[in-house]
Amino acid sequence: MERERLVTMVEISMMAALAVILSYVKFGALWAYGGSISLIMVPIFVIAFRRGWKAGVVTGLLVGVINWLTGGYVVHPAQLILDYPLPFALLGFAAIFAVKGVTIRTIVVGMIFGTALRLISHFLSGVIWFGEYAPDGIPVVLYSIIYNLSYLVPEMLITIAILVIIYKFYPKFFKANA
């Protein structure tokens, strides 16, 4: 039991570190006020599906804190939480769809759910603290949802593709004791 716990903690640490490294692999730089398409979600979803939602939430929380510490932009303590630790921690809840095992369906549904939770957090931050950047005549709510969807949807689709490919070629990867 203790060995399994230690192995889980090591996997969480390694996946958090990998996520931070992959956050620097960015596709395009269209977003002037934050947000980018990267591979940051891949390790968070992997650990969530491999070890469960608690490990996924802890991994995401670590990733969010490290991202904040290594270059976050903060205007208010609540915005810090909504843009860094919370949205990445919420990704871990993708694993609640895989309680009976990981399948392609549970991967896709779980990742859509986790990304939607992340979107809500970034959306709220955008509405509350970054509405001033909305172009004239565009409602802040519409601006925030479009802005955040513009990078989260492509990032989610890329992440889904990567995890489905891993699952197709090596499904045992998602089983912790395999």
Interval 47-97: pLDDT, tens? 999 999 999 999 999 999 999 999 888 999 999 999 999 999 999 999 999
- CB under 8 Å to 59, separation ≥6 — which residues? 12, 15, 16, 19, 43, 44, 47, 48, 92
Tokens of 87: 């949205």
State the distance between the two ends of the chain, measured CA to CA, in whole angstroms.
16
Compute the mean pLDDT over every residue in the chain, rounded to the nearest whole number: 93
List of residues 6+ apart from 153 with CB closer than 8 A? 115
> Domains plus CATH for the chain?
2-174 (1.10.1760.20)
Q: Determine the Cα–Cα distance for residues 145 and 143; give it in Å rounded to an integer.
A: 6
**Span 98-104, average pLDDT:** 94
* Burial environment of residue 175 by CB neighbours within 10 A (0 to 12, 13 to 18, 19 or more): exposed
pLDDT at 178 over 80: no
Residue 32 reports pLDDT greater than 90: no
**Nearest partner of 60 among 77, 76, 81, 75, judged by Cα:** 81
Mean pLDDT of 6-14: 97
